[in-house]
């Protein structure tokens, strides 16, 4: 049940999001994480202070090296910051492993507000990434950009889900963490209908990397042979447990405890 997950995303020097969160989440759920780093960021819990993109030829080489030797049971994409990066990743995944499920987290803005996707790249993301994804996992602001109208509550989430499905993606998980109020709703929408998940908000500022973590956790489930709904349900339980166990690091939006699945004191 190990499950090989190739992650194409940016690095977070603070360790709470990006490739670092992805690796931790996949490992915590028993999978095997591999990476193609698309960008380096200088960031901490207070925000992103710099971004350095990786040359697209080297991104392609990372993907090729992994797939030619190790293979993959699922893909996860995160920060694909510009048009050439999106094109490179989509070209390689489509050509080398067209049947492998892809969980696409359409990362657009960091928790602190720093833009992580070039404005001219949105159209390319819609045209290239969404049609090859098995699942796309936007938060409400990202769903609004994709759908073309504000998404703030459950009715608008349902309309956005329809709009995003019409772009060629077979499933969309709209994450309701940006909703107002104490009750948060996530919607998993497919052509067959909508599955609704509801939880009470956790009162904490330590939520950095929740989107990356959730998408990687879902990809791990798919890599391990779970169907989509059970993979999403398990991933949501894991992320909630990791938020509740957050260590409280940093002066801003702190990281989760990705190791919450490891028994305390197990190794002495």
Residue 102 belongs to a domain with what CATH number? 3.40.1190.20
Residue 177 lies in a domain: yes
The predicted pLDDT at position 61 comes to 98
> What is the structure's pLDDT at 111?
67
Domain assignment of residue 165, yes or no? yes
pLDDT at 23: 98
Cα–Cα distance for residue pair 101/223, rounded to 1 Å? 8
Residues 6+ apart with CB under 8 A from 5: 22, 26, 31, 32, 33, 34, 72, 73, 74, 75, 76, 216, 219, 220, 223
Whether the model clears a pTM of 0.75, i.e. scores above it, the answer is yes
Read off the pLDDT of each residue in 193-200 and give the average, rounded to a whole number.
97
Q: What is the pLDDT of residue 268?
A: 47
With 70 as the cut, is the pLDDT of residue 93 above it? yes
CA distances from 62 to 68, 134, 152, 211 (A): 10, 22, 38, 23
pLDDT, tens digit (0-9, with 9 covering 90-100), for 210-229: 999 999 999 999 999 999 99
Residues classed as catalytic: 175, 207, 209-212
In a domain? residue 76: yes
Q: What percent of the chain has pLDDT over 90?
A: 90
Instruction: Note down the domain range covering 218.
Output: 4-257
Q: Is residue 267, in this structure, part of any structural domain at all? A: no
Q: Determine, yes or no, domain membership for 265.
A: no
Mean pLDDT to the nearest integer, 167-173: 97
Exposure string (b/e) for 83-109, b if CB count within 10 Å is 16 or more? bbbbbbbbebbeebbeebbbbbbbbbe
Sequence-ordered alpha helix ranges (H) in the chain: 18-28, 56-69, 83-96, 122-124, 140-147, 154-165, 210-223, 228-244
Does residue 266 belong to any structural domain of this protein?
Answer: no
What is the dihedral sign for C-alpha 159, 164, 167, 168?
Answer: negative
pLDDT higher than 60, residue 253: yes
The pLDDT score that the predictor gives to residue 218 is 98
> Which of helix, strand or coil describes residue 216?
helix
Q: Is 231 among the domain residues?
A: yes
Bridge-based pairing state of the strands 4-12 and 32-44: parallel
Residue with tokens 């710099």: 50
- What pLDDT does 191 receive? 96
Task: Please give the average per-residue pLDDT across 229-241, as a whole number.
Answer: 98
47-53 sheet: strands from edge to edge = 47-53, 32-44, 4-12, 74-77, 102-104, 135-136, 171-174, 183-190, 193-200
Mean pLDDT score across all residues of the chain: 94
CB distance 188 to 194 below 8 Å: yes
pLDDT given at position 171: 98
Residues 40-65: tens digit of each pLDDT: 999 999 999 999 999 999 999 999 99
Count the domains in the chain. Answer: 1
Mean pLDDT of 147-152: 95
Residues 11-25, mean pLDDT to the nearest whole number: 97
pLDDT at 267 over 80: no
268 occurs within a structural domain = no
CA-to-CA separations, 157 to 39, 40, 84, 91, 154, in angstroms, rounded: 30, 32, 30, 30, 5
């Amino acid at each position: 049940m190990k499950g090989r997950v190739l992650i194409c995303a940016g690095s977070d020097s603070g360790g709470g999001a990006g490739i670092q969160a992805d690796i931790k989440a996949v490992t915590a759920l028993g999978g095997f994480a591999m990476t193609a780093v698309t960008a380096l960021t200088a960031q901490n819990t207070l925000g992103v202070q710099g971004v350095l993109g990786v040359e697209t030829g080297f991104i392609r080489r990372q993907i090729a090296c992994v797939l030619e030797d190790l293979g993959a049971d699922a893909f996860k994409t995160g920060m694909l910051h510009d048009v050439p990066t999106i094109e490179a990743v989509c070209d390689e995944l489509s050509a080398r492993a067209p049947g492998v499920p892809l969980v696409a987290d359409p990362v657009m803005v960091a928790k602190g507000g720093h833009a992580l996707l070039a404005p001219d790249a949105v159209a390319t993301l819609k045209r290239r990434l969404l049609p090859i994804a098995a699942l796309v996992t936007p938060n409400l602001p990202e769903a609004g950009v994709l759908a073309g109208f504000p998404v703030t509550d459950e009715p608008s989430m349902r309309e956005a889900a329809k709009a995003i499905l019409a772009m060629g993606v077979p499933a969309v998980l709209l994450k309701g963490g940006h909703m107002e109020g104490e009750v948060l709703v996530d919607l998993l929408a497919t052509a067959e209908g909508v599955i609704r998940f509801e939880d009470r908000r956790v009162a904490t500022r330590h939520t950095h990397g929740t989107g990356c973590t959730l998408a990687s956790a879902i990809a791990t489930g798919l890599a391990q042979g779970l169907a989509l709904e059970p993979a999403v349900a398990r991933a949501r339980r894991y992320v909630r447990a990791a938020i509740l166990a957050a260590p409280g690091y940093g002066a801003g939006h702190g990281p989760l405890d990705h190791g919450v699945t490891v028994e305390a004191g197990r190794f002495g």
